[in-house]
Chain A
Amino acid sequence: METLAFILTAVTLIGLALAVVFARRPVRSALALIAALLVVASAFAQNEAPYLATLQVLVYAGAIMVLFLFVIMLLNLGPEPRLGLPAAWGLRLSGAVVAMGTLIPGVLVASSPVVTQRVLDGSVGHIGALMFTRFPFAFESISLILLAAVVSAITLAMERPV
Chain B
Amino acid sequence: MTFAVTHDHWLALAQILFFVGLLGALLRRNALVVLMSIELMLNAGNLTLAVYGHRYAMAETHVIIFFLLAIAAAEAAVGLALMLNISRTHDTLNLDAMTSLRELL
**Given A20-B36, A96-B19, A145-B71, A156 and B81 contact (CB-CB distance below 8 Å):** yes
Number of contacting residues on B, CB 8 A?
75
Q: A86 contacts which chain B residues (CB < 8 A)?
A: 26-27, 29, 95-96
Any B CB within 8 A of the CB of A49? yes
Q: Is the CB of B47 within 8 A of A43?
A: yes
Any A CB within 8 A of the CB of B58? yes
Cα-based distance from A44 to B59 in the complex (angstroms): 13
Q: Is the CB of A64 within 8 A of B67?
A: no
Q: Can you list 15 residue pairs at the A/B interface with Cβ under 8 Å?
A: A6-B9, A14-B20, A17-B40, A18-B20, A21-B23, A52-B65, A60-B43, A60-B69, A68-B80, A111-B6, A116-B57, A127-B62, A152-B78, A152-B81, A157-B85
Write the residues of chain B forming the contact surface with A, with a CB cutoff of 8 angstroms.
1-13, 15-24, 26-30, 32-33, 35-37, 39-40, 43, 46-47, 50-60, 62-63, 65-67, 69-78, 80-85, 87, 93-96
Cα-based distance from A139 to B70 in the complex (angstroms): 10
Interface of A is mostly: helix
Q: Is the CB of B56 within 8 A of A93?
A: no
Pick from A64, A121, A157: contact of B59, CB below 8 A.
A121
Chain A residue at minimal CB-CB distance from B39: A33
**Given A55-B69, A63-B73, A122-B62, A49 and B12 contact (CB-CB distance below 8 Å):** no
Write the residues of chain A forming the contact surface with B, with a CB cutoff of 8 angstroms.
2-4, 6-7, 9-10, 13-14, 17-18, 20-21, 26, 29-30, 33, 36-37, 40, 43-44, 47-49, 51-52, 55-56, 59-60, 63-64, 67-68, 70-72, 74-75, 77, 80, 84-87, 89, 92-93, 95-96, 99-100, 103-104, 107, 110-111, 114, 116, 118-122, 126-127, 130-131, 134-135, 138-139, 142, 145-146, 148-150, 152-154, 156-157
Cα-based distance from A26 to B96 in the complex (angstroms): 17
